[in-house]
Amino acid sequence: MDAIQLLLLSVTLFGVSALVSLLLNRFNRAARLTSCLMGIIASLVGLAAAIQAAIGHTSLFEFQIPLPFGHFALQMDGLSTLMVGMISLVSFAVSFYSISYLDQYSERNQGVLGFFMSLFVALMLLVVTIANAFYFLIFWEMMMLTSYFLVTF
């Protein structure tokens, strides 16, 4: 797999983690463990994507969308590779630490917290790798809205 495919796998894993943790919302412990463990796996895949892109060359993924806003393109150059690596590394640490840290917030809705945490990391990865200004603004606003819900949680 090349770097972009690993990045897309990481974003997909974060998305699945978000949905599963929302589905397990009534079971706080299961939602917490699922979102944290899947976050660890997705972070390691994102870190592998950054390492693959760092030792390789610039990777590009294009998807033609019949909209007038341009094509959807993800690109991993030197700067985005560095950012993907840093985001994945910090996300790994947060997911690993959250397994025990969130135990003291057992009365809170941990499925919703896992949803927003996983969605936030997935959107951060998309923001730093998108190669189209329109989609950059869309993902940026979605990331900021998710960040707002995380802060108010």
Q: What is the pLDDT of residue 99?
A: 86
pLDDT means per 10 residues, the chain with 153 residues, are 90 95 88 92 95 83 73 88 95 92 78 91 95 90 94 86
pTM, whole model, 2 decimals? 0.90
| Structural domain count, the chain | 1
The Cα 111–Cα 114 span in angstroms is: 5
Q: What is the pLDDT of residue 72?
A: 83
Q: What is the pLDDT of residue 36?
A: 92
| Domain ranges, residue 48 | 3-152
Phi, psi at 61, each rounded to 5°: -130, 125
The Cα 3–Cα 100 span in angstroms is: 32
Q: What is the pLDDT of residue 116?
A: 92
